[in-house]
A and B are shown apart, each in its own frame.
Chain A
């Protein structure tokens, strides 16, 4: 594919519901990252995958947040019992190997609104 894609582009849900956000990285990129960006702020790191495994999940705010990448390509960010404070743009990025040497390519994001 041409770049990183994310679906849906917008998601509106009610407090307490479960949501899944999908990221399709650039083909061949082994590293995948999830970030959360609130209005007027820079992206905040959530989790980093190297292949199928979560190499660093220290940015996940609590146990309501979980992410998977079962085949080392597509990743899904899952949020349980959503809260209004979860409203933000969720960005996904991928890089060839890891961010210490390689540029991260970002998707357009999913705007999550929790009512």
Chain B
């Protein structure tokens, strides 16, 4: 059974810092990996989707990498802003989506 782990569980940084969120998974036979953002009391918003054949995807200040062989992905956020405060979830798809528990990010002004 696929297990998805996210480290750290919570992170607090001052505005402007660059930061890295980590995701690891146990079964490397995946179709894709997605990073989502979840604001309190809201649904999930997809940030980046990396297909299994890809190594990274970029969108604005966000960059996600995928190393399937080692079962790892990172989400890099550049020049963090208070509006980035949210919970970030990673999910892997191998026949059904498995989510990590998320990293709760707080960016202080």
Chain A residues with a Cβ under 8 A of chain B: 4, 33, 35, 40-45, 48, 56, 58-59, 91, 93, 99-101, 103-109
Contacts and interface: CB of A to CB of B under 8 A. Distances in A.
30 contacts: A35-B99, A41-B101, A42-B4, A42-B89, A42-B91, A42-B101, A42-B102, A43-B89, A43-B91, A43-B97, A48-B96, A56-B96, A59-B96, A93-B44, A99-B32, A99-B93, A100-B31, A100-B93, A101-B31, A101-B32, A101-B51, A103-B34, A104-B34, A104-B46, A106-B43, A106-B45, A107-B43, A108-B42, A108-B43, A109-B43
B49 interface: yes
Residue with the greatest number of chain A CB neighbours at <10 A, chosen from B41, B97, B99, B102: B97
Q: Chain A at the B interface: mostly helix, strand, loop or mixed?
A: loop
Contacts of B91: 42-43
Contacts of B93: 99-100
B46 to A, nearest CB: 5
Interface in B20-35: 31-32, 34
Contacts of A105: 46
A100 B89 contact: no
A56 B94 CA distance: 12
B98 interface: yes
